[in-house]
């Protein structure tokens, strides 16, 4: 029997420590193909490159392992890599491990999760992994341990059609983590602020900043799970339809 093919990507770029941690997590589970952005692509969501060229460069190769960087977005990595870096459909796509949480509304903006969602669109079991720690020196030991366990589970059992997993790890030592919670996305938002300043030529420019605002701390949410030292797993579906309100909107039909 041939080994499973595991496709790895991220949005923090080819040099990110979180990517190296994810490679370590799935090492030995099958053939590994890495296609990651050349540079950081955080916050790119499901962006595609359509007006400029893309490049794909091989940077490492050994038995059962090959690594490329792509000049595009995380979704470009999945799409271009799927056409040009591999010769068969992956058995699993894993994305991350992101430096920083992708819980709650962050799933909408996340390049890490967009790569996993793209995998789900293509019918490939896919998982996005994130650690609630932005530090370059973050401790990924807990994430490596549990990412491997979750990857093994998904390789063995698969996932429902058009569904991927959004996995977030709390910033805690592994001895403090209580376990895993399968939960829903908290209904939170960002209180955005654009800081205005002047460049040396006295032209205005802006930096996006802001505070994460969450009033939804029900015990079935990812935010509650992370705040209480659990690893959160949210199943994410590619169908954006709000099925509950279809009948309410029937009056719109002409």
| Mean pLDDT, residues 3-9 taken together | 97
Q: For residue 82, what pLDDT is reported?
A: 96
Which of the two residues, 174 and 224, has the higher pLDDT score? 224
Answer yes or no: is pLDDT of 227 > 80: yes
Q: pLDDT band at 21, cuts 50/70/90?
A: very high
| Mean pLDDT, residues 211-235 taken together | 94
Q: For residue 122, what pLDDT is reported?
A: 97
**43: helix, coil or strand?**
coil
Beta bridge partners of 34: 8, 67
Q: pLDDT band at 46, cuts 50/70/90?
A: very high
For a pLDDT cut of 70, what percent of the chain falls above it?
100
Strands 204-213, 189-198: pairing is antiparallel
Q: For residue 41, what pLDDT is reported?
A: 94
Beta bridge partners of 26: none
What would the pLDDT profile of 76-123 be if each residue is shown by its tens digit? 999 999 999 999 999 999 999 999 999 999 999 999 999 999 999 999
| Mean pLDDT, residues 50-74 taken together | 97
Q: In what order do the strands lie in the sheet with 92-99?
A: 56-62, 65-70, 31-37, 5-9, 92-99, 126-131, 163-169, 230-237, 179-182
Answer yes or no: is pLDDT of 50 > 80: yes
What would the pLDDT profile of 175-184 be if each residue is shown by its tens digit? 789 999 999 9
Q: pLDDT band at 168, cuts 50/70/90?
A: very high
Answer yes or no: is pLDDT of 251 > 90: no
Q: For residue 197, what pLDDT is reported?
A: 96
Answer yes or no: is pLDDT of 174 > 80: no
Answer yes or no: is pLDDT of 173 > 80: no
For a pLDDT cut of 90, what percent of the chain falls above it?
88
Q: pLDDT band at 1, cuts 50/70/90?
A: confident
Which of the two residues, 106 and 135, has the higher pLDDT score? 106
Q: pLDDT band at 253, cuts 50/70/90?
A: confident
**34: helix, coil or strand?**
strand
In DSSP notation, 133-169 reads ---TT---HHHHHHHHHHHHHHHHH---TTEEEEEEE
């Amino acid at each position: 029997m041939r080994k499973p093919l595991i496709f790895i990507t991220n949005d923090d770029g080819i040099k990110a420590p979180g990517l190296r941690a994810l490679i370590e997590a799935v090492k030995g589970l099958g053939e590994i193909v890495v296609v990651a952005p050349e540079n950081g692509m955080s916050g790119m969501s499901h962006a595609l490159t359509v007006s400029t060229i893309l490049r794909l460069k091989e940077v490492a190769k050994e038995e059962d392992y090959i690594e490329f960087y792509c000049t595009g977005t995380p979704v470009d990595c999945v799409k271009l890599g799927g056409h040009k870096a591999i010769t068969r459909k992956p058995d699993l796509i894993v994305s991350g491990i992101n430096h920083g949480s992708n819980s709650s509304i962050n799933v909408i903006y996340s390049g890490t999760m967009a790569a996993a969602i793209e995998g789900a669109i293509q019918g490939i079991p896919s998982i996005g992994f994130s650690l609630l720690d932005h530090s370059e020196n973050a401790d990924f030991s807990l994430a490596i341990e549990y990412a491997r366990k979750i990857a093994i589970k998904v390789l063995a059992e698969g996932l429902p059609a058009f569904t991927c997993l959004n996995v977030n790890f709390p910033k805690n030592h592994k001895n403090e983590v209580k376990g895993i919670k399968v939960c829903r996305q908290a209904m939170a938002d960002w209180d955005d602020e654009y800081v205005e300043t002047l460049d040396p030529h006295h032209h205005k420019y802006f930096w996006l900043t802001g505070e994460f605002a969450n009033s939804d701390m029900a015990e079935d949410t990812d935010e509650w799970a992370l705040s209480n030292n659990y690893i959160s797993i949210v199943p994410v579906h590619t169908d954006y339809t709000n099925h509950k309100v279809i009948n309410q909107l029937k009056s719109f039909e002409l």
